[in-house]
Structure 1
Amino acid sequence: MLLALGSCKSTAPSVSESNVKDFVKESYVEEIPATDLTFEMVLIPEGKFMMGSPESEANRKADEGPRKEVALDAFYMGKYEVTWDVFELFFKQNQELFKDLEVSKLDVIDAITRPSPPYEDPSYGMGKSGYPAISMSAYSALVFCKWLSSVTGKFYRLPTEAEWEYAAKAGTDTAYSFGDDVSKIDDYAVYYKNANNQYAKVGTKLPNPWGLYDMHGNVAEWTLDEYKENAYAITDPKNPWVQPTVIHPRVARGGSWDDDADVLRSSARVASSLKLQKRDPQIPKSFWWNTDSNFIGFRVVSPKVQPNTEEQAQFWQTVLDE
């Protein structure tokens, strides 16, 4: 399964300022066929980093350690969180937009089950155009990734927890990508004290050193991992991934507009639970939507070394139980 995550035979080096600049030049804009919508992907260099937080870090939680050196292969990551503009293309009622795709792509996307909008507005009236998509389950985010992969012909998925933290730290080893001085957070993050009780359009604050926006705050972001308190002790140091076996708990990262600053730290981890669905009256509860997660969205990644067709099929079988 590591191949499906985008493996590379070379040994991951430490990241330097010069090779990050070279990788930034290789970033790209993905055009979604049959639409005028695009999204930007930033190439994150292969490298090693210390995953977790030091015991000296303020507000550190026990599940952020023990610290572990992790090596990761190169991957592309969304410059911004996935917006409603892109996510809603995935809905059933927009299926007709893609009827003129080549037959091979059309056959695949027509076979992917897609959600209709929920009974209640999943944006909670906070805005849609240019705003991050929220309220979807981790399952829904993953099916979206499979749909996006089929439409574009490029493999997209959620980031692993390790990939997310590596990208968030962006070569730093401090509580936040901008340092340890929390007084600077208003410049980089939408969070409880400055959010005016709602999320903001993506990219309204300063980016981290690798050009990624809203890695701290705005909306928390789903990762590919099942939450384990002792994850760092049980996973491999190369491309670690706790493969999901349950709906909850999954790991969300980055904190949100409804969180205090300590939850926005680069190493902070949050476990999902059934509480995200507590107001859902359906039996069984929806696989697609959470009634109580208007603070969780996601961003996509794509391995620099693309998995082949068989590896992709194995990956979707694993994460979607197909």
Structure 2
Amino acid sequence: MKLRCLLSVSICFLSGSLNAAEVDFVKEVAPILEFNCVSCHSGDEPDGDFILTSKEMAFDSGSGGAIDPGNPDDSMLYTMTIVERTDDELMPPLRSGGPLRKEETELLKKWIEEGANWPEDVELKAKAKKSTHVSPDDFELVKKIHAKIVAQAEKEKGEAADYKNTIPVTEVDYQMIAVPGGEFLMGSPETEEFRKPEEGPQTKVTVDPFWIGKYEVTWDEYEPFMITQVDRYKDGSRKDFKSDEHTIVDAVSQPTPPYTEMSFGMGQHGYPAISMTQHAANKYCQWLSAQTGHFYRLPTEAEWEYACRAGTTSAYSFGDDPDQLTQYGWFYDNANEKYQKVGLKKPNPWGIYDMHGNVMEWTADQYVPDYFKQIQEDPNNPYIKPVTLYPRSARGGGWDDDPDRLRSAARRGSDALWKQQDPQLPKSVWYHTNAQQLGFRIIRPKKIPSPEEMYFYWNSAKDVF
């Protein structure tokens, strides 16, 4: 009788062991790594010198201890996935959708406990996550912001004037210059030194009245938008968003955490914000609009050049002599290989600072070499609506440019190489890490556009990544 019970217990134990199947690396572990880890841990410069593309590299690369078969608590592949979400060592980091779900970390732990079986012939490749998430940052949100802007305009009727305002969420001030509408000769004449073909032929262009930022958007204004202690999906929407608890400001998509420190040691307080994508700049405008009840966006190329020239027809807003440029802008010769605080040089005739140099500035347009040919039929408030992500137009030149790039008519298109260092898959929609002389300034048109137009301005780069 006793022997029969012991035999029964042994059979039950053996049966339980057989039912507890080992973790299948190919079906269970590989997808976790390919969708969350391999993009940053592959290539020539992997994070932490830790490569996850093959068994040999995964077990031997890095500083040691990445995978210790049988010992998950001594394996960084597991321990780095369970640190606090704010820890810089978290894998995957917040910017890449981390942390992993608990069931995923438990599966990694079990796999390592069982000996970390990784078939020799299995190599991993980075894969992009597919999401069924529906963002609250949609057309319905834009309609709510539009209604707030219309109501605010009713309270502020009167002549346009320069003004100083405070961002409600951060209590940071910014200043706007009132620009009267008018007609001007856009582009450069064929006789202008360093002129490029895409700067003409010169065309008479009309623009409506608007306000423009007195200065380039600074880190003081932009960083609180960029850095938030909120878990976000890759599109920037809050993971904890609840329509009955959060405001229209909370519903606006904001950047996921950056891959690196985005001022690159060049300075923050009073310095221009840099290296954002056009999408990120657009979303900042929407975020600011949702708070203030004023419609903000990027300037069109025509509006930017009109404001830069400030009634002048010369190569620069101060004349044709590049030797005077040191009084008005920061560029290769005087910037000491970095951007400088905004507003330290002389302004243009309309009181707008740093239109020449310091950082080149996003505009709202698609960059096209034949811009002037395309606007010939309708030169009234011209705008080349973007249809592809690259190239988009930037103006003004930056701290690492020669004087010819800082001319009022000089044009430049964005390039995918501006995010070459980004290891994520897909590439971040928020950062151009390689474009360290790229920033932006905002405008506010006097005429309020329709909700449909607002939505396009704020989302023109959203669905083309």
Equivalent in 83, 93, 117 of residue 257 of structure 2 = 117
Do residues 250 (structure 1) and 385 (structure 2) align? no
Partner residue, 1:280: 422
Matched, 1:50 2:170: no
Deviates more, 1:117-126 or 1:290-299: 117-126
Counterpart Cα distance in 1 of 2:357 and 2:245 = 35
Residues 61-80 of structure 1: CA deviation (Å, up to 9, x unaligned): 00001111000000000000
Cα–Cα, structure 1 residues 46 and 106, in superposed 2: closer, same or farther, change >3 Å? Answer: farther
Alpha-carbon offset, residue 85 of structure 1: 0.6
Of residues 310-319 and 168-177 in structure 1, the stretch that sits farther from structure 2 once superposed is 310-319
Instruction: Tell me if the contact between 1:126 and 1:198 (Cα under 8 Å) persists in the aligned partners.
Output: yes
TM-score w.r.t. the length of structure 2 is: 0.60
Alignment of 1:20-39 (within 5 A): 26-39=161-174
Which has the larger Rg? 2
Q: Is the 8 A contact 1:54 1:65 kept in 2?
A: yes
Would you say the 8 A contact 2:367–2:391 is kept in 1?
yes
Residues in 2 aligned to 1:152 and 1:77: alpha-carbon distance in whole angstroms: 15
2:227 and 2:267 mapped to 1: Cα distance?
21
Matched residues in 2 for 1:87 and 1:226: separation? 24
Range moving further from structure 2, 57-66 or 300-309: 300-309
How far apart are residue 320 of structure 1 and its match?
A: 3.9
Equivalent runs, 1:77-88 vs 2, <5 Å: 77-88=212-223
**Which residue matches 2:210?**
75
Q: Distance in 1 between matches of 2:170 and 2:457?
A: 27
SS state at 1:225 partner: strand
Please give the per-residue CA displacement for 1:73-130, whole angstroms capped at 9, x wherever unaligned: 00000000000011012135267xxxxxxx9995212222211331211111000110
The one-letter code of the counterpart of 2:307 is A
User: C-alpha offsets along residues 166-187 of structure 1, whole Å, 9 cap, x if unaligned?
Assistant: 1000000000000001111100
**Change in 2 beyond 3 A, CA 1:189/1:280:** same
Percent of pairs identical after alignment? Answer: 50
What is the TM-score when the length of structure 1 is the normalising length?
0.86
Choose from 176, 181, 184 the match for 2:316. 176
**Number of matched residues?**
294
Runs of 4+ in 1 over 6 A off after TM superposition: none
Q: Alpha-carbon deviation of 1:312? A: 2.6
8 Å contact from structure 1 (residues 156, 301) kept in 2? yes
Aligned pair partner of 2:364 in 216, 224, 236: 224
Task: Say if 2:356 and 2:396, in contact at 8 Å, map to a contact too.
Answer: yes
Instruction: Say whether residues 1:203 and 2:343 are aligned partners.
Output: yes
C-alpha distance after superposition, 1:232-253 (max 9, x if no partner) = 1112200000011111101110
Residue of structure 1 in register with 2:272 after alignment: 132
SS at match of 2:228: helix
Over the aligned positions, Cα root-mean-square deviation in angstroms equals: 2.2
Letter in 2 for 1:277: K
Whether the 8 Å contact between 2:217 and 2:441 is mirrored in structure 1 is yes
Higher RCO structure, 1 or 2 (CA under 8 Å, sep 6+): 1
Q: Do the aligned partners of 1:24 and 1:43 also contact (CA within 8 Å) in 2?
A: no
Q: Does 1:59 align with 2:170?
A: no
What code does the residue aligned with 1:301 have? I
Change over 3 Å in CA distance of 1:315–1:272 after alignment to 2: closer
Residues of 2 paired with 1:195 and 1:120: CA distance?
23
Which residue of 256, 260, 268 corresponds with 2:402? 260
CA contact (8 A) 1:170 1:177 kept: yes
CA drift of 1:279 comes to 1.6
Q: Which residue of 1 aligns with 2:130?
A: none
Task: Identify unmatched segments of 5+ residues in structure 2.
Answer: 1-157, 231-242
Question: Distance between the aligned counterparts of 1:169 and 1:225, measured in 2?
Answer: 19
Determine whether 1:233 maps to 2:373.
yes
Instruction: Look up the match of 1:269.
Output: 411
Letter in 2 for 1:279: Q
Match of residue 306 from structure 1:
448
Structure 2 counterpart SS, 1:307: coil
Aligned AA (2:208): D
Deviation at 1:36, TM superposition (A): 2.6
Give the Cα separation in 2 of the matches to 1:31 and 1:306: 21
d(CA) in 2 for partners of 1:30, 1:302? 13
State the distance in 2 between where 1:167 and 1:135 align.
Answer: 23
- Offset at residue 316 of structure 1 (A): 3.6
Shift of the 198–30 alpha-carbon distance from structure 1 to 2, 3 Å rule, reads same
1:41 paired to 2:176? yes
**Residue type matched to 1:293 in 2?**
A
Report the counterpart of residue 90 of structure 2 in structure 1: none
CA contact 1:105–1:150 (8 Å) conserved in 2? no
Map of 1:87-126 to 2, 5 A cutoff?
87-91=222-226, 93=228, 107-126=247-266
Deviation at 1:313, TM superposition (A): 3.7
Specify the alignment match of 1:157 in structure 2: 297
Which SS does the other structure have where 1:306 is aligned? coil
Equivalent pair of 2:225/2:284 in contact (CA under 8 Å): yes
The residue aligned with 2:54 is none
Conservation of the 8 A alpha-carbon contact between 1:84 and 1:129: yes
